[in-house]
Chain A
Amino acid sequence: MTATRRNAAGLVVLALAVLVPPALGEYRTYVLCLMAIYAIGSIGLTVLVGHGGMISLGHAGLVCVGAYGASLLMIRADVSFWLALPLATAIGMLVGLALGYPFLKLDGPYLAIATFGFAVALPEVINRWSAFGVGDPALFGGALGLNPPSPAIGSLIINTSLRFWYVCLAVLVVAVLLARRILSSRWGQDLRAYRQSPPAASAYGVRTRRVRVWSFAVAGGYAGLCGALLAHHLGAVGTSSFSLTLSITFLMMVVIGGVESVAGAVVGAVAVVALQEWLTGQTSNLQLWYGVALLLAVMFLRGGVVGMVQARLRRLRHRDEAEHA
């Protein structure tokens, strides 16, 4: 797609996203919010997996960091929701950096297992916090979890899904634009060069260690932001929301949408959440059909949904050119 056409398509989607939800009702809008929130998280994973070629099974851990970070800031430090969003992003980036350094030498399955370890260990630390005898035993709210307050703009309290949807949409738009800018930059080129040929990247002056570590920071930042929004969306923040399944769900969103595309991360999040919602309404064979749908998607959607659409459009354009030639 040309840049103009892509921008036009983006604007149409944005207009629909602004105009349609008031007609959808509370529950559907609630689901839309979840799509937008997961889309933000999956954009971060696209940077790491699609552009950096590093498989992470720990994305839910970073989202968990963002959710707890934002909740604690709001509850304990009386920080406003609006400030908690960038702060949770920064906390996510820092934790991403802290993971990126020790994981520098790990690749492929080793990296996947290391990130998996992080995602498994973190909720356990939170669950058993009171047993450590460090600081306040009720820091993470114990079995009840944390209940961050609802955000507000002046006297307008964001306490309906529709109001929160516009917040999520605005954050998502910023997140998408920022990701596109980052990935089209010299930094994004370096990251792709590192993925495809570490020797060529080094031979032409790319600081591969640095770009790798910072790609974890970017993934962590997006995960942190996703977590902060998710904290409000869930109402009660507990570790059960950040299971290994969520990490794998993020990976599926990235793969189904198309690993190398920001739009793909959004499409993947929408598709996976929609699939989950639809299957929830069906009978008992939910997990089976979920599995089958994913299998088919990965087998037949090379380059994800976005990759398939792009290939289609390319073929159409070639046919046009051939006919006019």
Chain B
Amino acid sequence: MLEVSGLAHSFGGVRALQEVSFRAQPGEVTGVIGPNGAGKSTLLSCLSGWVKPDLGAATFNGDQLLGQAPTDLAARGVIRTFQNLELLEESSVAENIALGTRRTASAGLLAAIVRGSAVRAQERRQRDTVTGAAERLGITTLLDVPAGELSYGQRKQVEMARAWAAMPQLLLLDEPAAGLDDRERRALAHVIRQMADDGATVLLIEHDIDMVMSLCSHLVVLDFGSVISSGSPADVRRDPRVVQAYLGGAA
């Protein structure tokens, strides 16, 4: 379980997060919504080690998350995605997905040179994981193509396959549906659902309200860095503060 309490952070005097507290359960997708500038991405950066918040605590299954380097968090199964994807543009799709398997593989130079039986077994497992992830996302035909040659929708799929290959315990998704068409959104929602069903705690930052409402069992609404509402999608939809701050006429 992810437990965030009293998280606060300022960028040069501007309060990006204040007193943010919530919980997210394993096997569930917890949605974080709010208008642009509400602090959603800052929250995600704090939880994944990119920003060290001024105050507060965040634990995952009892382990402290704050103040750890992204690399160390990744090793423990905390995986984030990026709004701008951060794919390896010149590398093949297979090598992109293989990056996801990095946290469960050793990668010393000596191991590379000796290439003993343990390393070869690890390479086989890596190939199987890459193939499996590509099958889940339906991109097996693209494995040899450089990521830079793909369409935007395909690139998003590669990113999700990479996250899948990492077998995350805590998955932090930063606007995964942005720029996708309806069909791609449905496929994406299906994959996120499956990853939660596999036992991951999923935190979903997303502007697509339909997707959030259908996927999430719990919502946290941020506005000006504060939690203004939280609860089930139905409760949040009825909350007048949310209606005023964010959902507006759409609710």
Binding site for B on A (CB under 8 A): 178, 181-182, 185-190, 192-193, 196-197, 199-208, 211, 214, 217-218, 260
Q: List the one stretch of B22-30, B101-109, B235-243 in contact with chain A.
A: B101-109
- What is the chain B residue whose CB lies nearest that of A197? B86
CB neighbours of B95 from chain A (8 A): 189, 192
B111-119, B182-190, B226-234 - the one binding chain A: B111-119
Q: Which residues in B have their C-beta under 8 angstroms from that of A206?
A: 71, 99, 102, 107
Leading 6 A-B pairs by shortest Cβ distance: A185-B112, A205-B74, A205-B103, A186-B107, A200-B86, A196-B88
How many Å lie between the Cα of A201 and that of B103 in the bound state? 10
Complex CA–CA separation, A260 to B111 (angstroms): 22
C-alpha gap A178/B115 in the complex (Å): 11
- CB closest residue in chain A, given B86: A200
Residues in B lying within 8 Å of A, measured CB to CB: 48, 50, 69-71, 74-75, 79-80, 82, 86-91, 95, 98-100, 102-103, 105-109, 111-113, 115, 119, 122-123, 126, 162, 166
Contact between B87 and A197 (Cβ–Cβ < 8 Å)?
yes
Bound: A202/B103 CA distance, A: 10
23 pairs, A vs B, C-beta closer than 8 Å: A181-B112, A181-B115, A186-B105, A186-B107, A186-B119, A186-B123, A187-B107, A187-B109, A190-B102, A193-B91, A196-B88, A197-B87, A199-B70, A200-B86, A202-B69, A202-B74, A203-B48, A204-B99, A204-B103, A205-B74, A205-B103, A206-B99, A217-B109
Which residues of the other chain, A, contact B106 by a CB distance below 8 angstroms? 186
Cβ of A189 and Cβ of B99 under 8 Å apart?
yes
A186 contacts which chain B residues (CB < 8 A)?
102, 105-107, 111-112, 119, 122-123, 126
A203 near B86 with CB under 8 A, answer yes
Task: Verify A203–B90 contact, CB threshold 8 A.
Answer: no
Determine if A208 and B86 form an interchain contact, defined as CB atoms under 8 angstroms apart: no
Smallest beta-carbon distance B113→chain A, Å: 6
A190 close to B115 (CB less than 8 A): no
Residue in A181, A188, A200, A205 whose beta carbon sits within 8 Å of that of B87 in the complex = A200
- In whole angstroms, how far apart are the Cα atoms of A199 and B103 in the complex? 15
Contact with B99, one of A181, A188, A200, A217 (Cβ below 8 angstroms): A200
CB distance from B248 to the nearest CB of A (A): 34
Partner of A192, one of B82, B91, B115, B166: B91
Chain A residues with Cβ under 8 A from B113's Cβ? 178, 181-182
Known: A190-B107, A205-B74. 6 other contacts (CB 8 A): A186-B123, A189-B102, A193-B88, A199-B86, A203-B74, A205-B102
Chain A residues whose CB sits within 8 angstroms of the CB of B122 once the complex forms: 186
Docked-complex contact A203 and B111, CB < 8 angstroms? no
Q: Are B102 and A182 in contact (CB under 8 A)?
A: no
B71 A202 Cβ-Cβ under 8 A: yes
A184 nearest CB neighbor, chain B only: B112
Q: Does A182 contact B99, Cβ atoms closer than 8 Å?
A: no
User: Which residue of B has the minimal Cβ distance to A193?
Assistant: B99
Select one of B70, B88, B109 contacting A202, CB under 8 A.
B70
Tell me which of B48, B79, B91, B109 contacts A182 (CB under 8 A). Answer: B109
Complex Cα–Cα for A186 and B74 (A): 16
A169 CB to closest chain B CB (Å) equals 21
Minimum CB–CB distance for A44 against chain B, Å: 13
Q: Are B79 and A203 in contact (CB under 8 A)?
A: yes
User: From residue B66, how far is it (CB to closest CB) to chain A in Å?
Assistant: 16
Q: Are A187 and B91 in contact, with the CB atoms below 8 A?
A: no
Closest chain A residue, CB of each to CB of B76? A205
Bound complex: CA A93 to CA B37 (Å): 48
Chain B residue with minimal CB distance to A217?
A: B109
With contacts A181-B113, A186-B105, A186-B112 taken as known, whether A204 is within 8 angstroms of B88 at the C-beta atoms is: no
Nearest A residue (CB) for B110 = A187
Chain A residue nearest in CB terms to B78:
A203
